[in-house]
Amino acid sequence: MGRPRQFDESGLLDAATELFWSHGFDDTSVEDISRATGVGNGSVYAAYGNKQGLFLAAFERYCERRARFVREVVVAAPGSARVAVRALLQVIIDDCAAQPDRRGCLMLNSIAQLSGRIPEVVTVSTRTTEAMEQGVAERLYPAARLGLGTIDDAAVSAHSANIVVVAQGLIQLSRLGIARTRLGEIADISSQALPSAWADHVVC
The tens digit of pLDDT for each residue in 39-87 reads 999 999 999 999 999 999 999 999 999 999 999 999 999 888 899 999 9
Helices (H), the chain: 9-23, 30-37, 41-48, 51-76, 81-98, 106-114, 119-148, 153-175, 180-192, 196-199
**Is the pTM of the predicted complex or chain greater than 0.85?**
yes
Do the beta carbons of residue 111 and residue 125 sit within 8 Å? yes
Q: Which amino acid is at 92?
A: I
Instruction: Return d(Cα 145, Cα 74) in angstroms, integer.
Output: 17
Q: Tell me, what's the pLDDT at 1?
A: 41
Q: Which amino acid is at 22?
A: S
Instruction: Return d(Cα 57, Cα 17) in angstroms, integer.
Output: 9
Domains delineated in the chain: 60-199 (1.10.357.10)
DSSP lists the bridge partners of residue 202 as 80
